[in-house]
């Protein structure tokens, strides 16, 4: 089963880039929200825009010593960017990962999940599920099923994933999201998922 799945994954990715893989994988990391768009607010006035930006910077820092992966950030500071601007800043990337948090009026809703655009290539879902598996293994938390939705990410033209990295409205998850050590582990798990995905592809 795993071999068949990997075969389908390789076929899907090679249909995008042709035979072989690039010497340098360029991954766009998109910190959701920014500026006047705070995203969700929870805990002790935690803001989604701040947490996603911290995680994006930590991923870039962790990847800085890797020879075959380059991280580009759609935003590196607290500013709002339109979807069109985020797409423009991701030009040249092979994959796009948008970082978000979940919000619910039910304070007990929890878990980490992923969303891919409707009609995405199978490589997008495969990337999402590999990253989720890495996160769950590292953080020992629950995961939600990967979903498909009509996201603006479909306009990118490359495999794109939205990661929802916990509920900012859940007291326990909000407390963790306010800790730098937790965000560091989360960033490491995301990067490990990216690495696992790209090294599984044929050279």
At 103-150, the pLDDT tens digits run 999 999 999 999 999 999 899 999 999 999 999 999 887 888 899 999
How wide is the angle at C-alpha 107 spanned by C-alphas 106 and 111, nearest 5°? 95
Q: What confidence score (pLDDT) does residue 43 get?
A: 74
Structure-token pair, residue 83: 């979807």
Provide mean pLDDT across the span 147-156. 95
In whole angstroms, what is the distance from residue 68 CA to residue 47 CA?
A: 33
* Helix (H/G/I), strand (E/B), else coil: 96: strand
Per-residue pLDDT tens over the stretch 11-41: 444 444 455 667 899 999 999 999 999 999 9
* 121 vs 162, higher pLDDT: 162
Pairing of strands 160-167, 46-47: unpaired
Q: What confidence score (pLDDT) does residue 20 get?
A: 61
Instruction: Check whether 154 has a pLDDT greater than 90.
Output: yes
Distance of alpha carbon 176 from its chain centroid, rounded? 18
In whole angstroms, what is the distance from residue 24 CA to residue 20 CA?
A: 12
CB 97, CB 27: distance < 8 Å: yes
Q: What confidence score (pLDDT) does residue 202 get?
A: 61
In whole angstroms, what is the distance from residue 164 CA to residue 128 CA?
A: 11
Per-residue pLDDT tens over the stretch 65-89: 999 999 999 999 999 999 999 999 9
pTM of the shown model: 0.88
In whole angstroms, what is the distance from residue 122 CA to residue 9 CA?
A: 7
* CA trace torsion 181, 182, 187, 188 (10° rounding): 70
* Helix (H/G/I), strand (E/B), else coil: 20: coil
**Which ranges of the chain does DSSP label H, i.e. alpha helix?**
2-17, 48-63, 83-89, 122-139, 171-177, 180-199
Pairing of strands 46-47, 41-42: antiparallel
Instruction: Check whether 3 has a pLDDT greater than 90.
Output: no
Give the DSSP letter of residue 156: G
Q: What confidence score (pLDDT) does residue 85 get?
A: 98
């Amino acid at each position: 089963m795993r071999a068949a799945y990997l075969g389908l994954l390789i076929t899907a990715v090679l249909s995008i880039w042709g035979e072989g893989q690039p010497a340098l994988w360029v991954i766009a990391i998109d910190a959701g929200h920014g500026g006047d768009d705070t995203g969700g607010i929870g805990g002790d006035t935690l803001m989604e825009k701040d947490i996603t930006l911290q995680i994006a910077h930590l991923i870039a820092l962790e990847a800085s010593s890797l020879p075959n992966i380059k991280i580009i950030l759609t935003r590196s500071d607290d500013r709002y960017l339109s979807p069109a601007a985020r797409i423009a800043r991701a030009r040249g990337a092979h994959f796009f990962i948008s970082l978000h948090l979940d919000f619910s009026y039910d304070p007990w809703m929890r878990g980490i999940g992923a969303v891919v655009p409707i009609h995405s290539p199978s490589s997008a879902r495969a990337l999402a599920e590999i990253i989720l598996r890495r996160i769950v293994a590292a953080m020992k938390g629950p995961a939600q099923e990967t979903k498909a939705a009509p996201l603006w990410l479909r306009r990118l033209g490359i495999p794109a994933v939205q990661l929802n990295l916990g509920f900012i409205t859940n007291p326990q998850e909000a407390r963790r999201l306010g800790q730098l050590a937790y965000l560091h582990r989360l960033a490491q798990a995301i990067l490990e998922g990216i690495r696992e995905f790209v090294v599984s592809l044929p050279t």
